[in-house]
Amino acid sequence: MNEKLIVNGLSFKPFLRIDEIRKQVARVAEEIRRDYEGKNPIFLCVLNGAFIFAADLYRELGMNETQIHFVKYSSYEGVSSTGKVKQLIGLNVDIEGQDVVIIEDIVDTGLTAVKMIEDLKAKNPASIRFATLLLKEESSKTGYVPDYIAFSIPPYFVIGYGLDLDGKARNLPEIYINCDEE
Ligand code: 5GP
């Protein structure tokens, strides 16, 4: 793993290694498989940030009869939440009466998660659960706790493994954390 990185003038250091990520993705997949035994939930990947986590998790799940679809929400500019959650791409599949599992990259304030669940509930699914790669417990403004959490992390900005800084750094195979405040 590379050492320090500079992206858009901010410094980042290695935080979560690929073998740790794989291990936690496998654990979350196991929990989901166990909870949905005999069922075929619809998985919803939240673009853009969750695309790599969702790809790894969905393949790890090996639930061949299920479907994955994509929605796009946005609330961040640079390194902080604007507090306003915008839906950029909506759902083009009927989820009425279906079990739904949302796959998100990170829950920070919790505003995106709460808004998304509210939007989806209006479509009358049988159930909704939420899987996140990362949870910043200390940043929560909503008290929302996802059903499946790969890692709980401190309230610092992270990039890599799909997560960006102004569109950059999604390609990094591992997760880096901002270290300008150290
Ligand atoms: P929330 O609505 O929970 O505050 O924020 C959720 C969204 O904010 C995530 O889907 C993600 O796009 C963005 N976000 C929150 N924290 C971080 C972070 O540390 N790094 C990156 N790259 N995005 C973040």
Q: What is the CATH number of the domain that holds 47?
A: 3.40.50.2020
Is 101 among the domain residues? yes
CA 164 to ligand 1: nearest atom: 22
Is 162 among the domain residues? no
**Listed residue (162, 156, 150) closest to 179, CA to CA:** 156
Is 106 among the domain residues? yes
Is 180 among the domain residues? no
Is 86 among the domain residues? yes
Is 11 among the domain residues? no
User: Which of the residues 35, 99, 108, 166 is marked catalytic?
Assistant: 108
Cα–Cα distance, 77 to 166 (Å, whole number): 7
- Region 78-98 average pLDDT: 75
Cα–Cα distance, 153 to 105 (Å, whole number): 12
pLDDT of residue 1 exceeding 60: no
Instruction: Name, in order, each residue with C-beta under 8 angstroms of 85's C-beta and a sequence gap of 6 or more.
Output: 73, 74, 75, 111, 112, 115, 116
Mean pLDDT of all residues in the chain?
92
* CA 52–ligand 1 middle distance (angstroms): 15
pLDDT score at 136: 95
Ligand 1 contact, 159 CB (< 6 A): yes
Is 51 among the domain residues? yes
Domain ranges, residue 87: 18-155
Ligand 1 contact, 50 CB (< 6 A): no
Is 175 among the domain residues? no
Known catalytic membership, residue 108: yes
Q: CB of 164 within 8 A of CB of 50?
A: no
Number of domains the chain contains: 1
Q: CB of 32 within 8 A of CB of 131?
A: yes
Instruction: Name, in order, each residue with C-beta under 8 angstroms of 178's C-beta and a sequence gap of 6 or more.
Output: 10, 11, 12, 79, 156, 157, 158, 159
Rg (CA), the chain: 16
Ligand 1 contact, 112 CB (< 6 A): yes
pLDDT tens-place string over residues 27-58: 999 999 999 999 999 999 999 999 999 999 99
Query: In the 8-state DSSP scheme, what is residue 105?
Result: E
> CB burial class (10 A; 0-12, 13-18, 19+) of residue 114?
middle
* CA 60–ligand 1 middle distance (angstroms): 24
What end-to-end distance do the CA atoms of the chain give, in Å? 21
* CA 68–ligand 1 middle distance (angstroms): 21
* CA 126–ligand 1 middle distance (angstroms): 27
Cα–Cα distance, 163 to 153 (Å, whole number): 14
pLDDT tens-place string over residues 121-145: 999 999 999 999 999 988 888 889 9
